[in-house]
Amino acid sequence: MGLWDDYKGSSLNPINLFKREDPTRGANKYLDQIPGIGHQYYDPYVQGGQEAGGVLKGEYGKMLNPNDFIAKIMRGYQMSPGASYQKDMLTKGIGSTAAAGGYAGTPEHQQQWGDMAEKLSSQDMQQYLQNALGVYGAGVKGEEGFYNKGYDASGSLSDMLGGALGSKAGLSFQGSSQKNASRDALLNALMKALGQGAGAMSGAGA
């Protein structure tokens, strides 16, 4: 290789300013991996939150009509074993009392038994409703937890993707600025060289 070949490949040659490796290329290689990593870890929570949101919307809609909502719950009611036992004991006790008082089988006996049985049944139904609403509330709260986690994951994923895009935009601007600066430096060097050459030619002519 000659001196000219050495000069062409050296940093002294202004043209080589365009051949330098773009520093943004290496950084973008890693920045491009961020969306995939973010979706890998956040998408399950985002999807779970979306599913929970659909469930909650349906359940909240049911509560807007409380009469139908409670009626649906009470369709599954059956007297508890404890209430059934109390009812049997109550029936025997009232029967014995009525027999001892000599009014067994009378309307008074039937009224007394009916009042006590209705009171016992009402208490048992209220307890059933409270228990059912407690379980229902726990289920709704659990779905709200999934929804909130999904919402938080969506925000974190958006921040991560937005940050990656912002970094790439900044690096792109930096790379463009560097190329512009290199081009300006090359043009200045060429203009200076041309000026010096023109001056030398003028001096030679004189």
Q: What is the pLDDT of residue 7?
A: 45
DSSP states of 140-186: HHHHHHHHHHHHHHHHHHHHHHHHHHHHHHHHHHHHHHHHHHHHHHH
Q: Is the pTM of this model over 0.75?
A: no
In the numeric block, which tokens belong to residue 176?
């463009």
Question: DSSP 3-state helix, strand, coil percentages of the chain (rounded to 5)?
Answer: 90, 0, 10
Residue 30 and residue 10: Cα distance in Å, rounded?
30
* Among the listed residues 3, 30, 25, the one whose alpha carbon sits nearest the alpha carbon of residue 179: 25
Average pLDDT, integer, range 10-35: 59
Residue in this structure with the two tokens 């202004």, named with its chain if needed: 14
Considering all CA atoms of the chain, what is the largest pairwise distance in Å, rounded to the nearest integer? 152
Question: What is the model's pLDDT at position 185?
Answer: 63
With 60 as the cut, is the pLDDT of residue 98 above it?
Answer: no
pLDDT at 154 (0 to 100)? 87
- Output the pLDDT for position 134: 94
Q: What is the pLDDT of residue 206?
A: 47
Q: What are the residue ranges spanned by the domains of the chain?
A: 44-155
pLDDT of residue 25: 62
Identify which has the larger pLDDT, 121 or 100.
121
Dump pLDDT digits (tens) for 62-91. 999 999 999 999 999 998 898 888 877 777
Number of C-beta neighbours around residue 94 at 10 A:
19
Q: Which amino acid is at 50?
A: Q
Write out pLDDT tens, residues 150-167: 989 888 888 888 777 767
